[in-house]
Amino acid sequence: MLTHRRWESLDTANRDWLRAKYHFAVSADGNPDHAALGPLIVWNDDEIAVGSGFPMHGHRDMEIVTYVRQGLLGHRDTVGSEGTIHAGDVQVMSAGTGIRHAEFNKGDVPLKVYQIWLLPRKAGGEPAWDTKPFPRGDRSGRFVTLASGFAGDEGALPIRANARVFGAMLKAGESVRHELSPARRAYLVVASGRIEVNGEPVGPLDGVAITKVAAAQISALEDSELVMVDAG
């Protein structure tokens, strides 16, 4: 079963410094068709103006994966971590018992990021932060595991949720198959390009919830950048 969440159907927030689209409803008056998918509860598409960002604020008991689509993301937090994340790279933060952090645009172009929130397997634990470059060329024609809550996913950033985050770059005409099962759920977003998922056309910036199927057959109609969460 595929549930297509088109860009124009997503809830929106527009401020002087932030433009946001929400793949999952973030308030009681949000799109009722855009419910959580297992541990995956938030997928925000944020555009942050030059010189702006989120001031210091807190989280707890949440796994937050940030995928940078364009620009430079700056990060600092109350456990002493600080970093700059480039386009195509990934940041993970396990909030655990509590962490405060700030995120901001360090570049000279609008910063575009996906903010993906996952419920942890269990509450508590020491807060942690990490980041890693994932060259887009390494993802050519295939899904690469960017972050994982499972042992054995070598090279992936660790998270404490029953989920994996993947990225892929497909040339027009290329296809990739992602094995699932009727009991598993995935959410796929087209960061750029156009694709088909099991024959369903999916346009740029659209999302699609994939449930109750054995596999997702993904074909690129044009050069495409894809980000997907397999939520177990």
Residue 63 in marked binding region: no
What is the widest separation between alpha-carbon atoms in the chain? 47
Distances (CA, A) of 8 to 19, 21, 130, 186, 197: 14, 9, 33, 21, 19
Q: In 3D, which of 74, 73, 115 has the Cα closest to residue 227? A: 115
Tokens of 232: 């177990």
75 is in an annotated binding site: no
d(C-alpha 43, C-alpha 127), whole Å: 21
Residue 59 near residue 99, CB atoms below 8 Å: yes
Pair 191, 226: CB distance under 8 Å: yes
Q: Which two tokens stand for residue 195?
A: 């694709």
Does 23 appear as a known binding residue?
no
Per the annotation, where are the binding residues? 57, 59, 101, 103
Per the annotation, where are the binding residues for Fe cation? 57, 59, 101, 103
